[in-house]
Structure 1
Amino acid sequence: MRDMAHVVTAGVDGTPQSAAAARWAAREAVARNASLRLVHVQVAESALDQMVVPDEDDATRQRAEQLVQAAAVELAARFPGLSLDTRTTVGEPAWVLTELSRTSDVVVIGSRGLSSLGGFLVGSVALPTVAHVQCPVVLVRTDTDSPSRDEALATGPGDQADTSRRIVAGVDVRHPCDELFAFAFEAAQRRSVPLEIRHGWEPRPYYGARPMPLAGLALEDLLDERADALAKMMQPWCEKFPGVEVDARAVLEQPASLLLRAAENGSLLVVGRRHRPSRFGAHVGPVAHAVMHHSRAPVAVVPHT
């Protein structure tokens, strides 16, 4: 059972990416009127490391505590009045963050820079964290040669430059995704920005039991059906959030490409993933996996039933 108190959890490890994530998380905590929890996980090199509590004089532990305290001091100066606590622990970062997600509204982590293939390196911590956390997780990245980039992407109340920056949400009309709608609409309302909802669909070359090319007219009819399904899914959320400006479309395009293009200048890209009861594996779905690796905007991955 989740705590009633609202908490935003951010993982910090001393990298520029985790610093950007911590600042994004602080803004989110202020916007949500929540507390911020900064967590540094010292990677256990063996099972014995997780069973033994290091001495207070242990140099590694001291460095970890100094790191997280330095981050806390910086954020406290930037965000006066922010309720903030810190913790350090030893273990597997992904599983520690997954456990903390049970008492968090959002988990925020940094993602590394561009790889040689032109995509982002999601890494051994982010991918299993996204696959197993119990709450939405946001991946934030920053260019090391542009320290202010993360500030432009981390929107929050009162950020005049970001008031016109939209939030983009990708929806699969074949599955219920109320959790995704709730997160996206609340985020747009909190920031007073437009919300673009997109459903992408790319049919197979042949359709039906007997392999026949799908005629253009049939394509339009099927796309209209999906647009109608999207409108029906959205209706209760538009009624619940009448102040949110919404642009919803079903588009004949590969979903990940559609979302990446739509969110190119956006402040946040929201996608979903199905709940997975198993602790093993790091499957998040092809669309979420693609946007995690290639979106330049922060990516929120929302687990849903």
Structure 2
Amino acid sequence: MLLPVMAGVDGSAESLAAAEWAAREAARRNRTLRLVHAWQRQPRESAGPATAAAQRRVLRQAEDRIRHTCPGVKVDAEQVEGPATGALLHAAERAELLVLGSRGLSGFTGFVVGSVALGAVARATLPVVLVRAGEEASDEHLPADDGSPSTRTGYRDVVLGLDLGDPCDEVIEFAFEAARLRGARLHVVHAWQEPSPLGLGPGEIGLVNGPEQADEWLGFLDAVIKVWRDKYPEVEVVETVTAGRARSVLVRAATGAGLLVVGRRTTERPAGRRTGPVTHAAVQHVGCPVAVVPHE
């Protein structure tokens, strides 16, 4: 049985944008779209008809919007009760992908990530895509020849932020598959920094100078990606290695992209599960949807 694409909805503009993005992704993957509304009863709040009707309206609003914008997608909807993050993650155990909205602020590019979205990213065992309010179908596509938005043009690049020190198959495969589904180019990006001479061992890349270091890193990147190029021969791949801080390099590389893919370690830390600094920077400052793929 094919697992659905799931979107969490709460009636907000960002969750409706996420539901639309999820519907388009469900169509690309030939999956059902599952809309889930999680709500928690407040103290002294009764579970009367008015409360139940309000919860149903949230789902009905999202369903009506999807049927208008993506009429060919099969939609299921359900309500779950409990703290939103935990309830959504429990429901997502029966999904292939979880899509959530993030509140965007006008005036600058980036996300103000709410506690639900951030908690889901930090704890999820499946890929989570964060979508900003205002995201539309045309934002995934290149502009028309006259510069106007279009859904008839090709897809914008899928950007993969790859750590060559920890190149995880789950993250790479997700990015290649996303590019294949869209017929998009995949732009693989790795950022490197010159190490301190005190930390170098014999034969390490840091012993050579800047341009030669870049060539060495590009060779490593090409070797890591080669097996995936062979598996996905239809995907055009561009590889870039850039000197600089990974979080800054990645945010710049994602400018104008249709989707950014990053990884997140699922290793339990003393302070509990959380996102790493690069992933956190991506979900805070990148304007396009961001897919966070967990890996060990």
Question: Are the equivalent residues in 1 in contact too, given 2:158–2:185 (CA < 8 A)?
Answer: yes
> Could you say which residue in structure 2 is the equivalent of 1:207?
197
CA contact (8 A) 1:106 1:137 kept: yes
User: Is 1:197 the counterpart of 2:188 in the alignment?
Assistant: yes
Query: Mapping of 1:231-250 within 5 angstroms?
Result: 231-250=222-241
Question: Per the alignment, in what secondary structure is the counterpart of residue 111 of structure 1?
Answer: strand
CA drift at 1:99:
1.8
Bigger drift between 97-106 and 189-198 goes to 97-106
User: Kindly, what percent of the aligned residue pairs are identical?
Assistant: 38
The residue aligned with 1:120 is: 111
The partner residue of 2:31 within 27, 31, 34 is 34
Q: CA deviation at 1:33?
A: 0.3
Q: For 2:5 and 2:206, how far apart are their aligned partners in 1?
A: 49
The structural deviation recorded for 1:61 is: 2.2
Unaligned runs of 5+ in 2: 142-149
- In the alignment, the residues of structure 2 paired with residue 265 and residue 238 of structure 1 have an alpha-carbon distance, to the nearest angstrom, of 23
2:11 match: secondary structure? coil
> 2:30 is aligned with what amino acid?
N
| Residue from 77, 83, 88 that aligns with 1:92 | 83
Find out whether 1:130 has 2:130 as its counterpart: no
Distance in 1 between residues matched to 2:182 and 2:278, nearest whole Å: 25
1:258-277 CA distance string (max 9 Å, x none): 11111111100111111235
Q: 1:165 to 1:273 in 2, by over 3 A?
A: same
Q: Could you tell me how far 1:284 is from its partner in structure 2?
A: 1.0
Q: Which amino acid aligns with 2:139?
A: L
Q: How many residues align?
A: 285
Partner residue, 1:281: 272
- The answer for the alignment partner of 1:8 in structure 2 is 5
Partner of 2:167 in structure 1?
A: 176
The residue that corresponds to 1:153 in the other structure is: 139
3-state SS, counterpart of residue 135 of structure 1: coil
Displacement after TM superposition at 1:191 (Å) = 0.6
Give me the whole-angstrom Cα distance separating, in 2, the residues matched to 1:276 and 1:93.
23
Please report the TM-score for the alignment, with normalisation by the length of structure 1. 0.84
| Conserved? CA contact 1:42–1:91, under 8 Å | yes
Q: Name the CA distance, whole Å, in 2 between partners of 1:83 and 1:255.
A: 39
Cα 1:5–1:164 change in 2 (3 A) is: closer
- Secondary structure in structure 2 of the residue aligned to 1:182: helix
Amino acid at match of 2:7: A
- Residue 278 of structure 1 and its aligned partner are, at CA, apart by 7.1
The within-5 A match list for 1:217-228 is 217-228=208-219
Q: CA deviation at 1:6?
A: 2.4
One-letter code aligned to 1:90: E
Shift of 1:118: 6.6
Deviation per CA, 1:129-163: give whole Å up to 9, x if none.
001111111100124xxxxx4232356xx9323x1
Distance 1:177 1:14 in 2: 36
Distance in 2 separating the partners of 1:227 and 1:175? 15
* Alpha carbons 2:140, 2:155 under 8 Å: kept: no
Aligned mate of 2:22, from 21, 25, 32: 25
Q: Is the CA contact (8 Å cut-off) linking 1:111 and 1:126 kept in structure 2?
A: yes
- Please give the alpha-carbon distance, in whole angstroms, between the structure 2 residues aligned to 1:279 and 1:113: 31
Partner of 1:256: 247
Q: For residues 76-91 of structure 1, what are the structure 2 equivalents within 5 Å?
A: 76-91=67-82
Distance 1:186 1:254, change over 3 A: same
Deviation at 1:73, TM superposition (A): 2.1
RMSD over aligned Cα, in angstroms? 2.7
Contact 2:194 2:206 in 1 (8 A): no
